[in-house]
Amino acid sequence: MRRVAAVAVAALLLFATGALTRVRYSPASADAALLRLSWRTRAEAKQLCRDRTAEELEALPVHMRTPQICTPIPLRYELSVRIDDGPTYVRRLHAAGARADRPVYVFREQPITPGRHRITVEFRRPDQHDDDDDDDDHGRRDVLRLRRRVVVRPGDILLVTYDDERRELYIPNPAHRGEHEGRDDSDE
């Protein structure tokens, strides 16, 4: 009898071990989907400069006598996301790093219901306006914008990211690329 009990308890413990290693878990409901925004981009900085005084120049070694002192002021950025006619999500972002000298990292995930949607994503400096989205002096677009009609299936993660070479927001997964909606910085 004791041996039977010993085997039964051992079997129970083993079964519990086996069962606890494969508990079915779904982090989201079956009809959930996600819109994920993820990219990095070099942050621009405004140079705040002033002329050195004669005394300051005199105090410096000859090879360090630059006429101006410039302090970089990192610029802030604004991310806005809109799905269909829903509320617009707006968030201010700034460059990473203790001295704000690292790139700006964009990472946001927000639930989206499966089906057809019209999404609008914009990334720009807050002081820029819609009519500023032309190339700047260095060929960079000041306002990054993506407007797209997409079809999202249950369980999908719709990724919007940034192509640093073409300087545009885009959807890398071909299954999600969808149709253009209005003016877009994408040339797809």
Partner 1 sequence: MYLSYCYDKYHRKVGVDRLVERIHVRTVAGRRRISWRLLTWADGWMNRIYGSRFNPLYQSGAIVVMLLGVLLATGLYLLVFYRLGRPYASVSGISGQVWVGRWVRGLHRFSSDAALGAAAIHAFRMYAQRRDWGARALAWVSGLVLVFLILVCGWTGYVLVWDSHAQLLAIEGARLLDVLPIFSEPISRAFTGERGIPGGFFFLNLFAHVALPVGVGLLVWIHVSRVARPGILPPRRLSIAVVAGLLVLALVWPVGMAAEANLFTIPRDVPLDLFFAFWLPLARQVPAWVVWLVGGTITLLLLAIPLLSRPAPERRPAKSVVNERQCTGCEQCMHDCPYGAILMFDRTDGRDGIVARVDPDLCVSCGICIGSCAPMALGPAERTGRDQLAAVRAWNALNMPGAHDVVMIGCDWSAGTAAFAADARVLHFPIACAGNIHTSTVEYLVRSGAGGVLIATCAERDCRGREGPKWLHQRLYEGREAELKERVDRARIRVVEASAGDARVLRDALHRFQADVAQLAAASAEDNVDLLALCDRVEEGVAS
Residues of this chain that interact with partner 1 (CB under 8 A) are 2, 5-6, 9-10, 13-14, 17-18, 20-28, 30, 32-34, 36, 38-40, 96-97, 102-103, 105, 107, 155-157, 159, 161, 172-173, 175
Q: Residue 125 contacts by C-beta under 8 Å, 6 or more apart in sequence? A: 44, 75, 76, 77, 78, 142
Least distance CB 163 / partner 1 (angstroms): 10
Least distance CB 107 / partner 1 (angstroms): 6
Nearer to partner 1, 10 or 69 (CB): 10
Q: Residue 134 contacts by C-beta under 8 Å, 6 or more apart in sequence? A: 141, 142
Nearer to partner 1, 5 or 54 (CB): 5
Nearer to partner 1, 42 or 183 (CB): 42
Q: What count of residues does the chain have? A: 188
Nearer to partner 1, 102 or 180 (CB): 102
Cα–Cα distance for residue pair 171/175, rounded to 1 Å: 9
Q: Name the nearest CA neighbour of 90 among 126, 59, 52.
A: 126
Least distance CB 89 / partner 1 (angstroms): 17
Least distance CB 53 / partner 1 (angstroms): 36
CB atoms within 10 A of CB 47: 9
